[in-house]
Structure 1
């Protein structure tokens, strides 16, 4: 049997001495013995004072933290107010849109009922028989040029162009 000794440093920077025993074709670990770290030097008074000073918070730093905390709190409250206002507006928009769609549906229904109630043959018969209206003759039709798909409004009498 042969003994083998290895040294290594683990992630915590502590030295461990490991011993292994070779027994034929197997290697067995006997034990791991942690080694003691060397003693540290005593801390001088000036160093401990500096550490104490750095741990203590000054008035300026406390004021800075207070201002930053108050600002963060104000911004959170303002954010919640704005989010609430947006939610209210979205509800109002949804209500108005549903009202608009209902009014459009009502308008379309009324339009269709008016269109279906009009009898064009009855109107033509009344205009020709009772009111004496007739279709225009060729010499009564005047053509005017219009811009695009618009229509012409007559504000004065049409001039006689047959002269």
Structure 2
């Protein structure tokens, strides 16, 4: 029964108008009057004819000013669109460069792995053994070694063809 009475009291206050406090449960809230009830209307000031004429003239825009504003607005839009396009191209190229750098890093890693695999598969002792035993190769003796000094350049100029037998010149020490 007590709950019913509280609900009825709240309805009673609401029906009386906005001047009375609104009660909901055990909380009372003061309702403020609307904005237009608080402030009185301001009296309108009389404005002279010259002021009205100046205001009207200020609102009027001539055709040259309108054309200028239109051209400026179109130019601003074109500049903004081009700026956005350039930013888009820069972003795309940046992504492309990043992708290419990743691809280059992967290719370098793959190349190094294959190089290391090839170098690990080559056994120099096995090559020397095969060259000496199966192919009959021997180390050069000291009299077969010819040293050449040319401090001016890093290459040797060939002046004539190498003969078929492979002997360019014979030294006096060795006879055939």
- Note whether the superposition's TM-score is higher than 0.5: yes
Partner of 1:143: 147
Higher strand share: 1
Are residues 98 and 108 of structure 1, via their aligned partners in 2, closer, same or farther at CA, if it must alter by over 3 Å? same
Aligned Cα root-mean-square deviation (Å): 2.9
Q: Check if 1:160 corresponds to 2:169.
A: yes
Unaligned runs of 5+ in 2: 1-46
Q: What secondary structure does 1:136 align onto? A: coil
Partner of residue 82 from structure 1, selected from 77, 83, 86: 86
Partner of 1:102: 106
Q: Normalising to structure 1: TM-score of the pair?
A: 0.61
Are residues 117 and 54 of structure 1, via their aligned partners in 2, closer, same or farther at CA, if it must alter by over 3 Å? same
Paired residues of 1:146 and 1:152 also in contact (CA < 8 A): no
Equivalences, count? 120
Partner of residue 130 from structure 2, selected from 123, 126, 143: 126
Are residues 78 and 97 of structure 1, via their aligned partners in 2, closer, same or farther at CA, if it must alter by over 3 Å? same
Distance 2:170 2:69 in 1: 92
Q: Could you list the per-position Cα deviations for residues 120-147 of structure 1 after superposition, in whole angstroms to 9, with x for gaps in the alignment?
A: 1111011111111111122322233266
Q: Normalising to structure 2: TM-score of the pair?
A: 0.57
Distance 2:157 2:119 in 1: 25
Q: Could you list the per-position Cα deviations for residues 53-97 of structure 1 after superposition, in whole angstroms to 9, with x for gaps in the alignment?
A: 344211111101100100000111111111111111111111111
Greater RCO (CA < 8 Å, at least 6 residues apart) = 1
Distance 1:58 1:102 in 2: 66
